[in-house]
């Protein structure tokens, strides 16, 4: 069920961390969204014409917000806190002094908003995140969401010559689509996935970050001689491994290999690039470069061992800086790199990285003031609001910029540099928000987890994962998605 995409998009710690704690035992969260959404769909709600009338469209009010209409905004109250949103609400209130804004924050998104969807009286803007996130595929399928295309086509807050969509980071618009061209979701945070390490530890080995797999093995061998493992990872939740493995597969075989995997195409996992990358990771296990005991560690334990210098590399997302702040030493010099490739025959250049949106904002179809909700998002996608968010919560936003003049933490600075290096070579595998159970329990735990613990060979892991993917593809009870 797509109800965990907040976690999976690493909403940089927000929904993700809450979710992981609650779902740790299962590796999956099942939120009873279907029944309530079916109920909302059948109840029909109240269409008694109480929607706000359009206001006057001007250069400063391109979405024609009614300047006297109320606007209600419900935020997920997670690791990002609520200050960034409250600050953006103040700007809305300043721009529309006659409008009353009702702002609230809750961790219980679904149980708070379910009755209101049933009654046809939802808020105007929702940050649909956390363990109680509503299933967006179901919401969109039941015509419960507003298409955000008018927001994307509106002039950006800072530069009327640029549309909002032209100010966003790669992949944000595409991620908001589920089927077809309509955009239902605006992901506000931006996560960089990759291989995280201490630059200080790498310097102590007198090494650069390895660009080819032979170099990777040489660096791990050097680390091993100094009593340090090359790698560790969240062994209990091996769906962390794809944070570096998927972009590596894309680098080696090209984006189309990842697209085929996402599209559940027959034999997608049997592509030579997948085999080359599985073989490479298995070699880390075979040569003893993985920290002993890793398969038994959870995400916190593996990150702690890594922060203590027991292992050099860890696959993770940019929330790790905030999540491990209490264990990362001050002189650690946290850095992230795009994954190491195989060799010069790889289809994409070194620097190819996975980065994508998190923290999904939606506007209900029955919002009384949808234009107001869109305007609030337009304000949040300004340079000032983006900088405010980044400065306060150590995370990038969907706005492509917003870091000038902000003091960046080491990990964030490294993430920005990695994105600059990647340029257009940013991949965005969708498996983890399209097919949560397949990604976590089957590919992650039963496939990669077993292989990295030495209980499956790469060939066996691939065969097993392909069978799981085929099973999902042939299951009519699961909604299927395709890259457009």
274, 462 contact by CB (below 8 A): yes
Q: H helices of 157-212, where?
A: 172-175, 199-204
Nearest to 194 by CA among 395, 418, 349, 19: 418
What is residue 88's three-state secondary structure? helix
pTM for this structure? 0.79
Domains and CATH numbers, the chain: 2-191+356-420 (3.40.190.10), 194-354+431-473 (3.40.190.10)
Rounded to an integer, what is the distance from CA 452 to the centroid of its chain? Answer: 24
pLDDT truncated to tens, each residue of the chain (484 aa)?
333 333 333 333 434 444 444 333 333 333 333 333 433 433 333 344 579 999 999 999 999 999 999 999 999 988 788 999 999 999 999 999 999 999 999 989 999 998 898 899 999 999 998 778 888 877 887 899 999 999 999 999 999 999 999 999 988 999 999 878 899 999 999 999 999 999 999 999 999 999 999 999 999 999 999 999 999 999 999 999 999 999 999 999 999 999 999 999 999 999 999 999 999 999 999 999 999 999 999 999 999 999 999 999 999 998 888 889 899 999 999 999 999 999 999 999 999 999 999 889 999 999 999 999 999 999 999 999 999 999 888 889 999 988 888 889 999 999 999 999 999 999 999 988 788 889 988 999 999 999 999 999 999 999 999 999 999 999 998 888 888 7
Q: Which residues neighbour 28 within 8 Å (Cβ) at sequence distance 6 or greater?
A: 4, 436, 437, 440, 441
Nearest to 253 by CA among 170, 342, 171, 175: 342
């Amino acid at each position: 069920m797509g109800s965990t995409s907040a976690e999976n998009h690493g909403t940089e710690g927000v929904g993700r961390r809450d979710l992981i704690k609650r779902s740790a035992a299962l590796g999956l969260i099942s939120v009873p969204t279907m029944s309530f959404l079916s109920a909302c769909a059948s109840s029909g709600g109240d269409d008694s014409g109480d929607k706000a009338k359009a206001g006057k469209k001007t250069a400063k009010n391109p979405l024609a917000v009614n300047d006297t209409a109320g606007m209600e905004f419900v935020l997920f109250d997670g690791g990002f806190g609520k200050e960034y949103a409250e600050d953006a609400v103040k700007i809305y209130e300043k721009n529309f002094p006659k409008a009353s804004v009702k702002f609230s924050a809750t961790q219980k998104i679904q149980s708070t908003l379910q009755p209101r969807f049933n009654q046809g009286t939802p808020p105007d803007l929702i940050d649909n995140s956390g363990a109680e996130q509503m299933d967006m595929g179901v919401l969109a399928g039941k015509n419960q969401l507003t298409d955000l295309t008018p927001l994307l086509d509106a002039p950006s807050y800072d530069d009327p010559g640029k549309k909002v969509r032209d100010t966003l980071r790669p992949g944000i618009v595409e991620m908001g689509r589920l089927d077809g061209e309509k955009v239902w979701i605006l992901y506000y945070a931006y996560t960089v996935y990759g291989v995280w390490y201490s630059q200080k530890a790498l310097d102590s080995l007198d090494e650069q970050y390895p660009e080819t797999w032979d170099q990777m093995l040489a660096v791990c061998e050097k680390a091993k001689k100094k009593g340090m493992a090359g790698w560790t990872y969240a062994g209990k939740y091996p769906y962390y491994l794809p944070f570096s493995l998927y972009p590596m597969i894309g680098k080696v075989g090209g984006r189309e290999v990842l697209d085929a995997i996402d599209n559940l195409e027959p034999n997608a996992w049997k592509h030579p690039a997948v085999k080359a990358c599985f073989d490479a990771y298995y070699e880390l296990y075979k040569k003893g470069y993985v920290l002993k005991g890793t398969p038994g560690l959870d995400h916190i334990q593996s990150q702690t061992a890594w922060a203590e210098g027991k292992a050099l590399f860890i696959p993770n997302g940019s929330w790790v800086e905030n999540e491990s702040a209490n264990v990362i030493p001050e002189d650690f010099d946290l850095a992230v790199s795009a994954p190491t490739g195989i060799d010069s025959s790889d289809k994409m250049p070194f620097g190819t990285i996975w980065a994508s949106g998190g923290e999904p904002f939606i506007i209900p179809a029955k919002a009384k003031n949808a234009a107001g909700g869109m305007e609030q998002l337009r304000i949040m996608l300004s340079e000032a609001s983006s900088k405010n968010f980044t400065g306060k919560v150590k995370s990038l936003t969907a706005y492509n910029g917003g870091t000038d003049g902000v003091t960046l933490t080491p990990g964030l600075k490294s993430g920005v540099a990695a994105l600059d290096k990647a340029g257009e070579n940013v991949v965005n595998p969708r498996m983890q928000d399209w097919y949560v159970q397949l990604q976590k329990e089957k590919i992650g735990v039963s496939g990669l987890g077993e292989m990295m613990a030495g209980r499956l060979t790469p060939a066996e892991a691939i065969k097993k994962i392909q069978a799981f993917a085929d099973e999902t593809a042939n299951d009519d009870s699961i909604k299927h998605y395709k890259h457009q």
